Amino acid sequence: MLGWMAWTLPVAVFFISIALMLVGMTIWEIRSPTVERRGFLPMKTTRGDRLFIGLLAAAYLNLLFLGFGSRIEALLNLQAEPSIWISFVLSMGLLGLIMNKG
């Protein structure tokens, strides 16, 4: 069923992290309903809005990292393309920033 996708450990960790975030946000929303607030994003957002925007930003950052991996390798004179774990950590940091300050 899922044979079309390149299931590597980083990909699996990324999707498991998203699933855990959704479960956690659901529980958090039930226990403490959200209120809109304004951060650095140009609109008032709820926790769910910030999670959605953060997940989109994280996905695009991962795709950019994958797309430009060979250019990063050439630019920094690396022996091989940089590890996908780097983009995972950066994307989770970006998600955390958007959730906290967005």
**Can you give the pLDDT of all 102 residues of the chain as single tens digits?**
566 667 788 778 878 888 998 899 999 989 998 889 998 888 999 998 999 999 899 889 988 888 888 888 888 888 888 888 888 889 889 999 999 998
Q: For residue 99, how many other CB atoms are within 10 A of its CB? A: 18
Residue 2 is predicted with a pLDDT of: 60
For residue 44, the SS3 value is: strand
Residue 61 is predicted with a pLDDT of: 92
* Rounded-to-integer distance, Cα 33 and Cα 21, Å: 16
Residue 54 is predicted with a pLDDT of: 92
